[in-house]
């Protein structure tokens, strides 16, 4: 096991035994799983979604339901293999009824995401949806560049991470295409930006 694998396995153990979040109690009560993340531990591109949905909590895998199917299509259209990237969420346990994550939940789970970023050291973080856009842009000192996702989706923001330069690209959440299929074209175009990054 590489040191990255070990450090990521430690995060998994810590989330499994986490006591602070009411979402963990729900998870244990319902016999479902936390979703830590999946993909290459040496990924250049990291995708950060919001929180697991029903399918993800049932399997412990990120983006494996309807939104995941759209994410897979978008990755394919950009010529990116799912196994080459790392996919995770800010919140690692499913909020009941798929409600938006609460600020206190983001506060509890955010440090796990911070550690995943520090371990994997991606060159690019593509945020999926407004919650991860806000979290990641603030984390990397891009507060003044924040705007609504409809204004800044697909744009490239450069920042400094502890491990070096990092590019942040806010993307619409794949589930947006379920509610508004007309958005799929724009989303496909936004994903092409990922191809231009070396």
Residues that bind ligand URA (CB under 6 A): 35, 49-53, 56, 62-63, 67, 89
Distance between CA atoms of residues 99 and 147, nearest Å? 22
Tell me how far, at minimum, the Cβ of 57 lies from ligand URA, in Å. 9
C-beta closer to ligand URA: residue 89 or 167: 89
Contact 152, 170 (CB under 8 A): yes
Query: Partners of 47 in the beta sheet?
Result: 87, 126
21 or 158, CB closer to ligand URA? 21
CB-wise, 83 or 163, nearer to ligand URA? Answer: 83
CB of 63 to ligand URA, least distance (A): 4
Report residue 17 as tokens. 């035994």
Which residue, judged by CB position, is nearest to ligand URA in the bound state?
Answer: 49
Task: For the CB of residue 62, give the shortest distance to ligand URA in the complex, in Å.
Answer: 4
Asked if residue 50 lies in contact with residue 131, where contact means CB atoms within 8 angstroms, the answer is yes
- Are the beta carbons of 125 and 168 closer than 8 angstroms? yes
Nearer residue to ligand URA within complex by CB, 34 or 52: 52
Q: How far is the CB of 162 from ligand URA (least distance, A)?
A: 25
Q: Are 36 and 92 in contact (CB under 8 A)?
A: yes
Say if residues 124 and 45 touch (Cβ distance below 8 Å).
Answer: yes
């Amino acid at each position: 096991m590489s040191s990255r694998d070990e450090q990521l396995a430690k995060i998994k153990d810590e989330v499994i035994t986490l006591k602070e979040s009411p979402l963990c109690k729900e998870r244990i009560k319902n016999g479902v799983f936390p979703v830590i993340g999946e993909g290459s531990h040496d990924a250049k591109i990291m995708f950060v979604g919001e929180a697991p949905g029903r399918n993800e909590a049932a399997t412990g895998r990120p983006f494996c339901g309807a939104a995941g199917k759209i994410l897979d299509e978008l990755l394919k259209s950009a010529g990116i293999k799912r196994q080459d990237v790392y996919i995770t969420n800010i919140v690692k346990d499913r909020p009941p009824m798929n409600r938006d994550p609460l600020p206190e939940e983001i506060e509890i789970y955010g440090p796990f995401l911070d550690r995943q970023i520090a371990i994997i050291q991606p060159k690019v973080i593509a945020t999926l949806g407004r919650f991860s856009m806000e979290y990641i842009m603030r984390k990397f000192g891009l507060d003044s560049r924040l705007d609504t996702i409809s204004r800044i989706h697909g744009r490239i923001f450069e920042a400094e991470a502890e491990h070096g330069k990092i590019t942040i690209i806010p993307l619409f959440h794949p589930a947006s295409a379920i509610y508004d299929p007309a958005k799929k074209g724009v989303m496909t175009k936004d994903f092409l930006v990922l191809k231009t990054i070396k």
